[in-house]
Amino acid sequence: MIALAAALLISGQATTPPQRATSDLTRNLNSAPPSAVTPAQVPTRAPTAMQTAPQSPASTPRPTLPPIGGAPQTQPAPHATTAAPSVPATPAPAALDAAAIAALPFGIELPTGLTITPARAGADASIYRVQRGDQTLLMIYAGPASQFPIYDGEMVRAGGRASVVVTEGGGRLAMEHLFQRATAPKEIHVWIANVTGADRDLAERIGQSIDAR
């Protein structure tokens, strides 16, 4: 029995393969084909916006685009406003004195307190107002062509004049007169202004007193 056990022990030692050295195992692993070794799984990350956007070199200047619609419009410099010169008011014409009245191309009987004042007229013509204060009683035109007649009424020719006569309140009233001359002024036209009552009667009497010179 002792001999048998020794024999089995010797037999077991002969059949057991020898242990591999650690260096041999490392060499075999390193010499294995690539497919034999599974690489470690590394999680992948999506590229960020900074990584995906193309980076332009800092030294490259941006191109200058032309403005829309052509060259840029320049605003004109504001003009300095100049105040319009003030126009002096035209003074009202003064009433004629006795010498100026005597030089008129017509004679007139002017009651005390009334005046004759020139008014604006066209070329080669003159217009006069017979006034009491600011109220006009009678108008007189002296020029090349008048607008006679301006009133509707009966045309009467007497004393070197043509007159327009109207009937009012049972009486006759000469509203206007026209004198014609051979020299300038060719025509002298007299007419009552827009007055009533006693003022109209006074204006009618002054008009009757006028005569061409």
Under 8 Å between Cβ of 174 and 204: yes
Q: What is the dihedral of CA 20, 23, 26, 28, to 10 degrees?
A: -60
Is the pLDDT reported for residue 43 higher than 70? no
Average pLDDT taken over every residue of the chain: 77
Joined together, the tokens standing for residue 62 give 């941006």
C-alpha separations of 64 from 22, 67, 68 in Å: 71, 9, 12
pLDDT at position 83? 65
Higher-scoring residue by pLDDT: 47, 141: 141
Is the pLDDT reported for residue 45 higher than 90? no
User: pLDDT category, 123, cuts 50, 70, 90?
Assistant: confident
Helix (H, G, I), strand (E, B) or coil at 181: coil
Q: What is the C-alpha separation between 65 and 53, in angstroms, rounded?
A: 22
Q: What angle do CA 152, 158, 163 make, to 5 degrees?
A: 20
Evaluate the CA torsion angle 159, 160, 166, 168 in order and state its sign: negative
User: pLDDT category, 73, cuts 50, 70, 90?
Assistant: low
Lowest pLDDT segment from 22-36, 99-113, 116-130:
22-36
Is the pLDDT reported for residue 151 higher than 90? yes
pLDDT at position 24? 53
Cis peptide upstream of residue 66 (ω within 30 degrees of 0): no
Q: Exposure string (b/e) for 121-153, b if CB count within 10 Å is 16 or more? A: eeeebbbbbbbeeeebbbbbbbbeebebbeeeb
pLDDT at position 180? 96
